[in-house]
């Protein structure tokens, strides 16, 4: 089973794109999402996200991501709901009111975050970390040191998650019951941060030493064998994403808000 943010091998157009172009396109799509508050446009971007995910066989992951981001953004949505008095009044509050417009604003917040997060995460699923670091090094001339730091940080996420579940298992086996209310769960989990932190620091430290003794500092941008040329596909994708941003701006200017 594919793990969180772990590369899934494949041969879709997303897999074949240049890593730098992928990141650029993902960023452009995110920018487009923030250029407009038009709900229909955001839904269209979300559909586009899912079509892309489905094209490379990652609809399931995308759905999981969408759910996670949506849950994460509920707090922001709540703030939007309570703090945007717009449209026909539904409920009056001491400081204003909740209207139909407030609900639309809350939905927009969630839609926007989900629509802009999916492409960014999707990049991780369709790009090998090595390729990502090397291509940024070769094309954008990012120092390999920084590219490597980023990729190893991402690489460690599933490792940490695995560690955490292992630590929780160990405590369960000693009689800790990790169920019941949220507060109780969190109280039980806090002490477990100690072993997690210790194992992380140990792991990070030994990974750094291992990289050092293998000549990490000798590495330059020219060290990789593989070249990462831009192809027609990359150019077309970038142009499409730039157009998307343009459309977002135009929509924002021309289409008046619903409420």
Q: Give residue for tokens 């487009």.
A: 32
Q: Give residue for tokens 């971007």.
A: 45
Q: Which residues contact 209 (CB under 8 A, 6 or more apart)?
A: none
Q: Is 206 in the site for other proteins (CB under 8 A)?
A: no
Residue choice 27, 59, 192, 251 for contact with other proteins (CB under 8 A)? 192
* Closest CB to other proteins among residues 47, 170: 170
Q: Which residues are paired to 77 by β-bridges?
A: none
* Closest CB to other proteins among residues 2, 120: 2
Q: Is 163 in the site for other proteins (CB under 8 A)?
A: yes
| Interactions with other proteins, residue window 164-183 (CB under 8 A) | 166-167, 169-179
Binding mask 208-247 for other proteins (x = CB under 8 A): ----------------------------------------
Q: Which of 40-48, 56-64, 198-206, 219-227 is the region at the interface with other proteins (rule: CB under 8 A)?
A: 198-206
Which helix (H) or strand (E) covers residue 164, if one does? helix 144-173
Q: Which of 59-67, 86-94, 160-168, 240-248 is the region at the interface with other proteins (rule: CB under 8 A)?
A: 160-168
> What backbone phi and psi angles, to 5 degrees, belong to 21?
-60, -40
Pairwise CA distance, residues 38 & 23, whole Å: 24
CB atoms inside a 10 Å sphere around CB 86: 18
* Closest CB to other proteins among residues 130, 200: 200
Pairwise CA distance, residues 141 & 29, whole Å: 23
């Amino acid at each position: 089973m594919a793990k969180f943010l772990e590369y899934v091998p494949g041969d879709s157009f997303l897999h074949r794109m240049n890593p730098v172009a992928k990141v650029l396109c993902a960023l452009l799509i995110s920018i487009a999402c923030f250029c407009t508050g038009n709900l229909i446009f955001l839904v269209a971007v979300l559909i586009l996200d899912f079509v892309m995910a489905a094209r490379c066989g990652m609809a399931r992951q995308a759905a999981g991501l969408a759910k996670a981001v949506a849950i994460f953004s509920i707090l922001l949505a709540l703030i939007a709901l309570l703090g945007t008095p717009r449209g026909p009044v539904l409920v009056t509050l001491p400081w204003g009111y909740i209207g139909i417009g407030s609900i639309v604003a809350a939905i927009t917040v969630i839609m926007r975050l989900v629509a802009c997060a999916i492409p960014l995460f999707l990049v991780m699923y369709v790009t090998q970390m090595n390729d990502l670091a090397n291509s940024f090094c070769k094309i954008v001339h990012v120092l390999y040191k920084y590219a490597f730091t980023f990729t190893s940080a991402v690489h460690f996420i599933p490792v940490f998650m695995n560690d955490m579940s292992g630590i929780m298992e160990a405590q369960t086996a000693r009689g800790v019951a990790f169920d019941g209310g949220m507060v109780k769960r969190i109280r039980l989990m806090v002490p477990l941060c100690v072993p997690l932190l210790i194992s992380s620091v140990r792991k990070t430290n030994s990974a750094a030493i291992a990289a050092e003794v293998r000549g990490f500092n000798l590495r330059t941008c020219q060290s990789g064998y593989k070249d990462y040329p831009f192809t027609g596909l990359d150019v077309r994708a970038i142009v499409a994403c730039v157009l998307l941003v343009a459309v977002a701006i135009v929509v924002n200017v021309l289409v008046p808000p619903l409420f």
